[in-house]
Amino acid sequence: MKHSLQIGIAGLGTVGAGVVKLLHDNAALIEARAGRKITVTAVSARDKTRDRGVSLEGFGWHSDAVGLANDPHVDVVVELIGGSEGTARELAEATLAAGKPLVTANKALLAVHGAALGLAAEKAGVPLGFESAVAGGIPVIKALREGLAGNKISRVAGILNGTCNYILTVMREEKRDFHDVLADAQRLGYAEADPSFDIDGIDAAHKLAILAALAFGRLVDFDAVHIEGIRRVSALDISFAEELGYRIKLLGIARETPAGVSVRVHPAMVPKEALLAAVDGVFNAVLAEGDFVGTVFLQGRGAGGGPTASAVVADLIDIARGNNVPVWGAKAAALSAAAVVPMAAHVGPYFMRLMVVDQPGVLADVTAILRDHGISLESMLQHGRKPGEAVPIVLVTHETNEAAIMQAIARISQLDSVLETPALIRIEAN
């Protein structure tokens, strides 16, 4: 049997401690599947004295995580620090420069610097594993890069952030407002003290940039992602969505079209019978459509020490076996340079909610503006009458162009009878 694979771990938070525990508790099973032992030999973290619930006895300690890259007792570096810059980036670059494999759960690092890191790994001839960077314990990276390698992928879509999915689920089930549910999510540990990365869609966008690169055989490009979060989704919108037969989800959607690649993160209405509509709470899910395989749907826990550690160890087992696949599914020279389709070119149906003064002529003014921009209506909802008071009116459009709907919204917002900026949510067919 080969000598053991020696691991250095940078970052001993929930995931790092989970990796140490998993490698210890399932050591015999992992050795059998990897063909050799996988052992932790060195670690790095900010606080050496903190109790993490796992023993660090016998491990080498690096106060500077970058030192792991050149430690002679480390064969593979596991980066669990997080962030696209600073120590995480320095460690990743130093590891690959030293000709050592890198495993990372850092979606921000990969979304922003993944093209350069992939090229560095290719030049060094070493693996760069990141199964844990997207959707926690769901093996979506391996599915796209290897399991579906023979397919032309036309679309990948998913619920990629458990915090947002939890908030939207509770808002729907308990008919509560966004800020109230967010405060509860923070108390329960589902949302950070500063939840911006989650609720503004940035975390999901990091993950979608990675999935789009793998799905379409292109260099990862975070700047290409259109990003919107869930701050403006109201309990009223969720209630109307239910009445219309939809659920509101924060979706990441990447699609390849004849005009290029569209990559977007935003709240969307999906039919209740759609696969993604049934994914609730902190769960994640990813749906991919291939020309030969059809639709593939993966669901599971998208975060947490156990699921994410599971994905890290899966990469380590691959490395122990000697598996080394191209980082982005093909050699850098073979990756696509297809154009990015701007969000203004998106075509689809829309949900629009207006808060208006209930008085004669309001609806006529609104529909006249929509007509001017070539937008036709499929349905309208208004419950009851409150003459002279504010009432919600919901309009559902047929398929229309994003640029046209945005121009119409700007004009509608200027009407004296419209009391606030209209709420606009895109509708996805499935």
Q: Which residues are catalytic?
A: 207
Cβ-based neighbour number of residue 334 at 10 Å:
10
**Are 256 and 153 a contacting pair, CB within 8 Å?**
yes
Closest among 401, 425, 418, 403 to 366, alpha carbons compared: 418
DSSP for residue 218:
B
Q: Describe the strand order of the beta sheet including 128-129 as a list of residue ranges.
A: 60-61, 38-44, 5-10, 76-79, 102-104, 128-129
**Are 220 and 211 a contacting pair, CB within 8 Å?**
no
Cβ-based neighbour number of residue 404 at 10 Å:
17
Q: Which residues contact 67 (CB under 8 A, 6 or more apart)?
A: 44
Exposure class string for 142-173: b at 16+ Cβ within 10 A, else e: bbbbebbeebebebbbbbbbbbbbbbbbbbbe
110 in helix, strand or coil?
A: helix
Distance in angstroms (rounded) separating the CA atoms of residues 251 and 267: 6
Strands 283-290 and 153-159: antiparallel
Query: What angle in degrees, to the nearest 10, is found between the helix axes of 14-25 and 305-321?
Result: 60
Q: Given CA atoms 378, 280, 81, 315 in this order, what sign does their dihedral have?
A: negative
What backbone phi and psi angles, to 5 degrees, belong to 208?
A: -65, -35
CA 118 to the chain's CA centroid: 20
Distance in angstroms (rounded) separating the CA atoms of residues 8 and 154: 38
Distance in angstroms (rounded) separating the CA atoms of residues 84 and 112: 7
